Structure 1
């Protein structure tokens, strides 16, 4: 039955016969929403579901089964329970305040002082006692979108979230009131048109991570407006996003008024509002559709609310943003960022491929890789996009190697072999060109090129055709990684791979040499410029040179560190210089522009390379600050819309998909992380004490690595810390280490005492056969201060 015909029939039958139209034929699933594989929809035994606070709501009949609906309305975060008498689908709620809850933002410091300081004053405050406290990080500055002024958004309406489906080629924005562009919640309750009332709202997602927007606007004790919005997963429209709506007034645990909607306002008699049963049937279909899309996510357990859900939501949101779930889009809704000129943006590709690989979503990773090389990589290796970013060519090559190591799928790389080799040739040509420069030239041996795509938009893009360190560093990383696996793709490629490795090693040596030679030791802390041969710092250059060749230094630093070609001492110098000279905000890479006393911005996307290097160097407290700050200040609260750039004054950031993929990467690496050389696997290196202090298990299972899948579980019980590790299934690296942060002097593995030679502080070296399960037990250090420094 046609979807619109189904809705017309449903409306015409009225409430008295509301079960009639909801037949299997009337509610046939969209082909792309079918359950993937053999995984069944998530259900739990009804007997184990608490039901004492559930308010009965209209049930429905779906595909031959009768369903009952109940909802806990005793508080705004009460679950919705749909059940067939035996099995239940429990859809939880969790909302977060969208307004500033801090008594004093910036810990009482003046915004101007924070903005103008070279040092990252907020980071210094939060790290003063060692591991940062997540609540204090959240309260350090107003949350994103907590202070909305349409004048700051060029006249556009400041939407805070959006909904959609995999099969639809567009998305639907959801505004602060819960309205969309086609359905208006404030037509149900006029109060929702009042910015002051809506400003005190809470927002969240149904089921923890499902792309269904939930808004709560409090009125007084026991009274609130409750708004739900989600996309119709059974709609077939190519570009039109059909949406379901529930707008309600809750008073003392009951609905005193509730209105259901589908996509548009009523136009009687042809378009009547849907009945409640249709809404709840659609909600169940929505729930099952999205769980089916993410069946391949490895199980992760974090006992502190939100973290595991953020990872799942990022992958769901990627499927919403990408038409058919795979075609790339940089942003959503607004022409800027959703326009076709952004589709081939390299960061969209690399962040997606990286995150999907790290979480074992190999089918999605393959589709993203195949589509990008088919549609956006030309035969000569150039990209079908306005302006190439030189370093991203190198990152692409590195991720291709990672794809092969994780999946063993050489056939897909063979399919695109000519384009991959043309990408390699591009970097080799640029390297050869740099070697023709005089030895006295600061750029000798360093790849020249744009580091940032936006360089191509200016009247004279040649100003940014420079030897930025990241260009050569990521080229070295990509060539080195791909050379190691390319003979597995191309049988006669040994000589070519050897030549690529030679180029990579020369580039890495030259980067190290040049960075050391250009350190400003006259500054405290010592300062590393984004390119050689400059005397002004990036702040000085941005103030004095219009335009500045040091534009976008944040990208240079993040990519330079991500490449991991610097020795540890030099990488530490770069990081310390960034924190000391204005290149970080709240511990996250800053979006660097001319100094402004009214703002100091966070870079929400591409900054994960900086965090990656923090973890490599064992700077775990700073890694956790980055993790917390990115969650709470680069995302809108509750609805988790990630911003390309976010200020720390409560403005609405512009969404971009690469920023959304950052938390999945950071969370995965906190549990499972490998070194660039492919020799060492680190487990539990950045698990916060706060997670362990709950006494609940903290775990990631079946995480993919280049040696096969592995898993780790930790649990603290009083003074004892235990861990269970499943070693990689296929092979073991040269070394496997697990970090037992706060562990005491006595550690046992399967009952045997760990030798001193296998300990480095809190890190324990593991030995065993591939796939072996190890059980580790340790007492905790006596003093909490020894844990917290």
Structure 2
């Protein structure tokens, strides 16, 4: 309902201490959540906020955070020629960006290549041109948006002809999200000094439509802080007197509904505060995108719009389930995690333990078991897992049967004891899928992890079936040992650094194999490497050798796992999904500078600018890329682990392990609230004093703090920890190199002060 009366005025706002600045305007009064609301919009700068003020004093400030599609400043590709970096075995971009001892420079990473979706033909063959989308959890589809902000039904250039497809004005736009993370897309197109068109687009949230996405549009011409023209739109263009354009009050009321709806979906999840709000926003926006993409908010879907990847034949793809379940669990979104789990096991897991997908992936089957155990550990909900106990048991027995087959091979066979099977479901699209029925190291690595974690889960689900859980644990131990043994004996030490293959007993590198064979058994080497590292079953020495090999021998691009293909002077692509397993290993091995490079590169070269649509695969030339949901889940997973990370032995909780030095040293500090862990929900704050003399830390737990907490002290080189005091006894606080090791004992909270000295 739209209130017609003037509850607010400029004078009444001033009386409440809300002063209107230059370019701000008071909008009509609206109702929502039982209150009257006034919208105040700042037009003094293009980045001015839109603020909601309620009659009871509540204020919601929605910033405009926009990123530019302008070409990178300076020489692209860090001064390297594109053919050289594309053909080189070594990751030359990573080598350049990691020079020196400091963290990689964020802006240098951003400008190292054109942004995704920034350079393409306006009519790319085989695909409509869209770079972002809007939608609601209610709908089973989304509405794509063109670079100019057109929906499929309502075109911006009807209002502003200069915003036509292919116009330089459109190519050089600024784009972002209102409020930083809300699915309210804002695009700005500068027409001259102080003059620009702004397009705002979002989906109606108060709808029962499941087959359509009702939309709202606003096109505004702003000149020197003043609105010269504004046009409002809904799903369709006006049709004479029968379907007029909406007015300002109708648009603002829909905007208010949208804000309230999406903010409600974030209640109960872990909250993070970082020195730069855009970093926390890009993580929380990942969950917004997920609710839009999934049918009805929970039904599995890989991509959107294009038949590849929005077709239902993709819905059973295991990576959709594993990436989403992982991300939602570690952010404390247990209701969504449960809904995803139910959807997967009701619709896609069959009684024999396989998935309704063309080619079940062995590694992802093991990862599924591990994540089910994580679900039980973090949520405490065994009931939903007991509902699917038979299917869970059958899934584990698939790995057992494959392991038995591997054990039946002769001892002299390099594949003895290693699980053979497809690592990638796409193997089934080729004439002879048996080419890829191979003992990839990742199959056994994630199977070992899945059987080990699955055995612990099984003890809780079926305490009387100890023989089964003991067998799984025994097999997990065998697989872990065999993977380490086989990998170690397969390393090619005649190369520098030594080359680590994806299969036992092979002499060809994946690059040579891809160049030599039409159908190469090493076609999806990127998946094998990333999954093996995610399993965490390798010894630290082997894990580091594998990381070194990947970076030196063609498997990474700008510090992110590459989408590995035959070498070409024309392309070298980055992998948006799956690759987070590589980043987790970097964190585990304290290769933090490389981990931070991964964060920066993934954000700026896998995601579109501002509206943050993640790509399955992204080129380095600004090509049009395809969205996939697992890629969107990568940064939420990694930011959580960078801030709050549990070691695999369950003995140590790492805090701030993977954050940039600039974040630690920021006066605004770092804060995490209600991060779910095996010890219950944990919260902590880290903030430096304004004079740089000390860091203040607070840590609290829902139950009791873990036995050991390790706080990473990634400080500037000019600051060295000198001493530490706090509410804990001195022996419980130990400075150890660039970390503070805390042994809190049986307490639920502690305040700690770290005194610093200058060098």
Q: Shorter chain as normaliser: what TM range?
A: over 0.9
Question: Of 512, 515, 521, which aligns to 2:487?
Answer: 515
**Does the residue aligned with 2:64 lie in a helix, a strand or coil?**
coil
Match of 1:428 in 2: 400
The reply on whether 1:747 has 2:732 as its aligned counterpart is no
Match of 2:93 in 1: 122
Match of 1:638 in 2: 610
Question: Of 741, 745, 756, which aligns to 1:765?
Answer: 741
Q: Which moved more, 1:576-585 or 1:90-99?
A: 90-99
Q: How far did residue 67 of structure 1 move?
A: 3.7
Match of 2:79 in 1: 108
Give the whole-Å Cα distance in 2 for the aligned partners of 1:236 and 1:580. 53
Offset from partner CA, 1:125-166 (integer Å, 9 cap, x none): 111123111111111111111112245x43423211100011
**Does the residue aligned with 2:402 lie in a helix, a strand or coil?**
helix
User: Is the CA contact 1:474–1:560 (under 8 Å) kept in the aligned structure 2?
Assistant: yes
Match of 2:147 in 1: 176
Give the whole-Å Cα distance in 1 for the aligned partners of 2:109 and 2:753. 31
Give the whole-Å Cα distance in 2 for the aligned partners of 1:316 and 1:770. 38
Match of 1:35 in 2: none
Q: Where does the alignment leave 5 or more consecutive residues of structure 2 unmatched?
A: 7-12
Match of 1:308 in 2: 280
The reply on whether 1:71 has 2:41 as its aligned counterpart is yes
TM-score, scaled relative to structure 2: 0.95
Q: How far did residue 674 of structure 1 move?
A: 0.8
**Does the residue aligned with 1:265 lie in a helix, a strand or coil?**
coil
Question: Of 42, 48, 51, which aligns to 2:20?
Answer: 51
Give the whole-Å Cα distance in 2 for the aligned partners of 1:391 and 1:307. 31
Give the whole-Å Cα distance in 1 for the aligned partners of 2:126 and 2:726. 64
Q: Which moved more, 1:721-730 or 1:130-139?
A: 721-730
User: Is the CA contact 2:181–2:284 (under 8 Å) kept in the aligned structure 1?
Assistant: yes
Give the whole-Å Cα distance in 2 for the aligned partners of 1:165 and 1:466. 42
Change in Cα spacing, 1:731 to 1:465, as seen in structure 2 (3 Å) is farther
Q: How far did residue 390 of structure 1 move?
A: 0.8
Q: How far did residue 392 of structure 1 move?
A: 0.2
Question: Of 721, 732, 751, which aligns to 1:775?
Answer: 751
Question: Of 117, 135, 138, which aligns to 1:167?
Answer: 138
Give the whole-Å Cα distance in 2 for the aligned partners of 1:375 and 1:242. 28
Give the whole-Å Cα distance in 2 for the aligned partners of 1:642 and 1:48. 41
The reply on whether 1:598 has 2:570 as its aligned counterpart is yes
Give the whole-Å Cα distance in 1 for the aligned partners of 2:202 and 2:78. 38
Change in Cα spacing, 1:371 to 1:723, as seen in structure 2 (3 Å) is farther
**Does the residue aligned with 1:96 lie in a helix, a strand or coil?**
strand
Q: How far did residue 644 of structure 1 move?
A: 0.4
Give the whole-Å Cα distance in 2 for the aligned partners of 1:358 and 1:460. 39
Q: How far did residue 699 of structure 1 move?
A: 1.2
Match of 2:590 in 1: 618
Give the whole-Å Cα distance in 2 for the aligned partners of 1:641 and 1:578. 27
Match of 2:9 in 1: none
Question: Of 275, 282, 285, which aligns to 2:257?
Answer: 285
Q: Please give the residue correspondences for 1:639-788 in structure 2 after superposition, counting only pairs within 5 Å.
A: 639-717=611-689, 718-742=691-715, 744-750=720-726, 758-770=734-746, 772-780=748-756, 782-783=758-759
Question: Of 329, 335, 356, which aligns to 1:357?
Answer: 329
**Does the residue aligned with 2:680 lie in a helix, a strand or coil?**
coil
**Does the residue aligned with 1:758 lie in a helix, a strand or coil?**
strand
Give the whole-Å Cα distance in 2 for the aligned partners of 1:525 and 1:649. 29
Q: Please give the residue correspondences for 1:560-579 in structure 2 after superposition, counting only pairs within 5 Å.
A: 560-579=532-551
Q: How far did residue 371 of structure 1 move?
A: 1.2
The count of corresponding residues between Structure 1 and Structure 2 is 745
The reply on whether 1:451 has 2:423 as its aligned counterpart is yes
Q: How far did residue 770 of structure 1 move?
A: 5.0
Match of 1:225 in 2: 197
Change in Cα spacing, 1:45 to 1:418, as seen in structure 2 (3 Å) is farther
User: Is the CA contact 1:726–1:771 (under 8 Å) kept in the aligned structure 2?
Assistant: no
**Does the residue aligned with 1:173 lie in a helix, a strand or coil?**
strand
Give the whole-Å Cα distance in 2 for the aligned partners of 1:529 and 1:734. 39
User: Is the CA contact 2:76–2:111 (under 8 Å) kept in the aligned structure 1?
Assistant: yes
User: Is the CA contact 1:518–1:528 (under 8 Å) kept in the aligned structure 2?
Assistant: yes
**Does the residue aligned with 1:119 lie in a helix, a strand or coil?**
coil
Change in Cα spacing, 1:292 to 1:426, as seen in structure 2 (3 Å) is same
Give the whole-Å Cα distance in 2 for the aligned partners of 1:263 and 1:471. 48
Q: Please give the residue correspondences for 1:244-283 in structure 2 after superposition, counting only pairs within 5 Å.
A: 244-283=216-255
Q: Which moved more, 1:176-185 or 1:74-83?
A: 74-83
Give the whole-Å Cα distance in 2 for the aligned partners of 1:164 and 1:745. 49
Offset from partner CA, 1:568-604 (integer Å, 9 cap, x none): 0000000000000010111111111010112111110
Give the whole-Å Cα distance in 2 for the aligned partners of 1:705 and 1:56. 46
Match of 1:185 in 2: 156
TM-score, scaled relative to structure 1: 0.91
Q: Which moved more, 1:200-209 or 1:716-725?
A: 716-725
Question: Of 493, 518, 533, which aligns to 1:546?
Answer: 518
Question: Of 189, 204, 211, which aligns to 2:176?
Answer: 204
User: Is the CA contact 1:57–1:71 (under 8 Å) kept in the aligned structure 2?
Assistant: yes
